[in-house]
């Protein structure tokens, strides 16, 4: 290749490289701008959700209770709100408080919600013993009676035995008590209760509009 051809080839390669760098710069600038827009929109969304939560969890419930109003319709029937009770929480983590909570639950007629968990971890080398243990448990449940099991070799972790109540089941039980006006020691059960306003939206034909769940729900 002669000198002029080499110079031309080098220039073409430089132009191509420069063109790619220009594209890289443009894409970087566009990406940076989009990220700034995303950050701005996210901040605005977080602020909007926070304001909406305050309205439906504090301001509206308080003023509706003061006005003795349980329901309200506005904007030509396109928005309806309803004051509802909520229950949140789960059994206490502290074992002493948890034991007390289970006693309260039983006294309130919720003993059927209590589930007993038994967990035993076997090392890999004791896979067959684990299968045998599982078979024995199934047999015990089938016969509905307890049969002592033989001692196993050293290596099995100490079994974990605990009584639990699924949080959603506990909350549903408490909501039913609220609905019936029956007393319940919410604090002992690790639960909190209060009021929240539920929003429903309708189109011009009176058809309910299903809203996508957001962080506020």
Cα separation values, 74 from 48, 79, 194, Å:
21, 5, 24
Question: Domain segments of the chain: what residues?
Answer: 3-69, 121-157
Spell out the per-residue pLDDT of the chain, length 217, in tens.
566 666 666 666 766 677 888 888 999 999 999 999 999 999 999 999 999 999 999 999 999 999 999 999 998 889 999 999 899 999 999 989 999 999 999 999 999 999 988 777 888 888 888 888 888 877 776 776 544 444 444 444 455 678 889 999 999 999 999 888 899 999 999 999 999 999 999 998 889 998 766 544 4
Q: Computed over its alpha carbons, how large is the radius of gyration of the chain?
A: 32
Rounded to whole angstroms, the Cα distance separating 164 from 91 reads: 8
Rounded to whole angstroms, the Cα distance separating 133 from 121 reads: 11
Rounded to whole angstroms, the Cα distance separating 193 from 174 reads: 9
**pLDDT tens per residue across span 52-107:** 999 999 999 999 999 999 999 998 889 999 999 899 999 999 989 999 999 999 99
């Amino acid at each position: 290749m002669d000198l002029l051809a080499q110079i031309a080839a080098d220039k073409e390669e430089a132009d191509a490289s420069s063109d790619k760098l220009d594209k890289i710069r443009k894409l970087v600038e566009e990406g940076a701008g989009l990220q700034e827009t995303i950050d701005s929109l996210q901040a605005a969304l977080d602020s909007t959700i926070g304001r909406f939560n305050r309205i439906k969890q504090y301001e509206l419930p308080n003023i509706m209770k003061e006005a003795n109003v349980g329901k309200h319709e506005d904007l030509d029937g396109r928005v309806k709100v309803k004051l509802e009770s909520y229950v949140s929480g789960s059994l206490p983590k502290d074992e002493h408080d948890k034991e007390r909570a289970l006693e309260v639950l039983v006294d309130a007629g919720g003993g059927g919600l209590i589930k007993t968990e038994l967990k035993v971890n076997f090392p890999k080398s004791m896979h067959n013993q684990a299968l045998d243990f599982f078979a024995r448990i199934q047999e015990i449940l089938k016969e509905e009676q307890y049969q002592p099991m033989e001692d196993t070799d050293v290596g099995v972790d100490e079994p974990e035995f605990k009584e639990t109540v699924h949080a959603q089941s506990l909350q549903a039980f408490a909501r039913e008590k609220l609905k019936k006006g029956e007393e319940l020691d919410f604090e002992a059960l690790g639960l909190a209760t209060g009021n929240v306003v539920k929003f429903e939206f309708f189109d011009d034909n009176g058809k309910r509009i299903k809203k996508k769940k957001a962080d506020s729900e």
